[in-house]
Amino acid sequence: MYRISDQQIDYIISDIGARGVEMESLQQNLVDHVCCIIENNLEENGDFESFYQTTIQTFYKDELWEIEEETLQLLTHKNYYTMKKIMIYSGTLSVAGFIVGSIFKIMHWPGASAILLLSMVNISLIFLPLLFILKTREVNTMKDKLMVAIGTIFGILFSLSSLFKIFHWPGANLMWLIALGILMFLFIPIYFFSGIRNPETKINTIITSIILIAAVGMLFTLTSLRSSSQVYFGNTYNYLQGEELITRMQLIKNDTATQNPEIINLSKEIIENCKKIKEKIIIDGTGLKSIPDDFEKKDIILQESVPGKEFHPGESGMELIQKLKKQINSYNTLVNKNNQLPIDNSIEKMENMNSIQLSNYNLLNSLTEIQLFILQNEKGLKFN
């Protein structure tokens, strides 16, 4: 049996390293393996170097680093499955999140925004990038890789722009247009011209391109249709005009001579209460305390919706409305019949309601009207 010296081991280690095996644990395995073979098969006074060279050559077909490559491939193959699993889970979660989140949103249950936000972030920052990594492995040509990359960027921008839109964050529209632009002017042309050259894929390419262009067209139409924002702007104008009217009326001198202090106080309280409720509605809809005059420029939109959680039974917004009703009733007992606040067509009418059914705009307008009625009495604009 041959005995291998330390120098010879160094020689083997450096030779295996030079042959391109860089993973330490694999190197150790190969060194030990080749040493075992040499020790068991070489005569005590045999030629170490030539025996080593012939032995190491039996380890591979062309090059020794094939072993390392094979090892790495098996290891990444494992990652491949993990990534695929994560991708499928995150995709499923996102889809489930979209469905559950939108149901929550419609029902005004708490947590809707959080679910939608998570799903969107999940799909655009986990699912799509993973899809990209896994897909690029499956395709071979640079052109195909480019297609996958462009497709992924489009997907990410598209879902992020929807996310921004839902949360009224700035830049949503721009992102949306860029996404559509990428799809229309990059993805579709590359897809079309690469597919049409191949007779086998020609027909399919034409059909798919037409469908894609139609889809872009429809999505683009949606962009202009989204001027439901115009409707919201209009409503917001009305609201701001109402506020202005209230401010101006408050500047007119009060007709104190004809009213008792109790009524003056109650009037103040009612007007203040209305203001508070309005503020809650505005915060609920926009996240801001008040709507600035240049709301259009800043893309601040008060969407028409039913006021959220604060206006559920027992919540602070609802409590204020209940208080307002009581205030209106006591006001009406104090003032002349002619000056009573009309309750037939106001929020007062909604007795025993479980939650607010009026939209935020209706509610804002009702409150403005109440304030104006009160002010009109205060200023002594009597009906004789």
Partner 1 sequence: MIYSSELIKGTLKTIVLKLLADNKKMYGYEITQKVKDLTLNKIQITEGALYPTLHALEADGLVTTESEFIGKRVRKYYTLSPSGKNKTKEKVSELADFMETMKFLLDIKTKTV
**22 contributes a contact to partner 1 by CB under 8 A:** no
Of the candidates 246, 249, 268, 263, the one whose C-alpha atom is nearest the C-alpha of residue 332 is 263
Find the length of the chain: 384
In whole angstroms, how large is the CA radius of gyration of the chain?
37
**61 contributes a contact to partner 1 by CB under 8 A:** yes
**35 contributes a contact to partner 1 by CB under 8 A:** yes
**59 contributes a contact to partner 1 by CB under 8 A:** yes
Min separation Cβ 92 and partner 1, Å = 25
User: What is the signed CA dihedral for 117, 119, 125, 127, rounded to 10 degrees?
Assistant: -170
Min separation Cβ 16 and partner 1, Å = 11
The answer to whether 358 and 347 are in contact (CB under 8 A) is: yes
Give the whole-angstrom CA distance, residue 211 versus residue 382: 67
Please provide the DSSP assignment of 231-274 as one string. HHHHHHHHHHHHHHHHHHHHHSPP-GGGS-HHHHHHHHHHHHHH
Q: Which is nearer to partner 1, 30 or 374 (CB)?
A: 30
Give the residue carrying structure tokens 């609920």: 284
Q: Which is nearer to partner 1, 3 or 326 (CB)?
A: 3
According to CB under 8 A, which one of 1, 6, 107, 326 is a site residue for partner 1? 6
According to CB under 8 A, which one of 1, 18, 25, 344 is a site residue for partner 1? 25
**2 contributes a contact to partner 1 by CB under 8 A:** no
The answer to whether 335 and 263 are in contact (CB under 8 A) is: yes
**66 contributes a contact to partner 1 by CB under 8 A:** yes
CA angle 338, 321, 337 (to 5 degrees): 10
Min separation Cβ 27 and partner 1, Å = 9
3-state secondary structure 357-376: CCCHHHHHHHHHHHHHHHHH
**30 contributes a contact to partner 1 by CB under 8 A:** yes
Give the whole-angstrom CA distance, residue 330 versus residue 341: 10
Q: Which is nearer to partner 1, 23 or 93 (CB)?
A: 23
Give the whole-angstrom CA distance, residue 203 versus residue 198: 10
Q: Which is nearer to partner 1, 39 or 244 (CB)?
A: 39
**244 contributes a contact to partner 1 by CB under 8 A:** no
Quote the DSSP letter at residue 42.
S
**26 contributes a contact to partner 1 by CB under 8 A:** yes
Of 42-50, 73-81, 113-121, 258-266: span binding partner 1 (CB under 8 A): 73-81
> Which residue type is seen at 27?
Q
Give the whole-angstrom CA distance, residue 364 versus residue 57: 86
Of 28-36, 119-127, 212-220, 344-352: span binding partner 1 (CB under 8 A): 28-36
Of 23-31, 95-103, 126-134, 241-249: span binding partner 1 (CB under 8 A): 23-31
Of 30-38, 248-256, 264-272, 324-332: span binding partner 1 (CB under 8 A): 30-38
Query: Which of helix, strand or coil describes residue 228?
Result: helix
**11 contributes a contact to partner 1 by CB under 8 A:** no
Min separation Cβ 20 and partner 1, Å = 13
Give the whole-angstrom CA distance, residue 188 versus residue 178: 14
**29 contributes a contact to partner 1 by CB under 8 A:** yes
According to CB under 8 A, which one of 2, 9, 323, 379 is a site residue for partner 1? 9
Of 19-27, 186-194, 319-327, 332-340: span binding partner 1 (CB under 8 A): 19-27
**186 contributes a contact to partner 1 by CB under 8 A:** no
Q: Which is nearer to partner 1, 37 or 219 (CB)?
A: 37
Token pair recorded at residue 157: 């921008």
According to CB under 8 A, which one of 15, 19, 37, 95 is a site residue for partner 1? 37
**140 contributes a contact to partner 1 by CB under 8 A:** no
Q: For residue 133, what are the contacts with CB-CB under 8 A and spacing of at least 6?
A: 83
Token pair recorded at residue 55: 């032995």
Token pair recorded at residue 30: 């190969």
Chain residues in the site for partner 1 (CB under 8 A): 4, 6, 9-10, 23, 25-26, 28-33, 35-37, 58-61, 66-67, 70-71, 73-75, 77-78
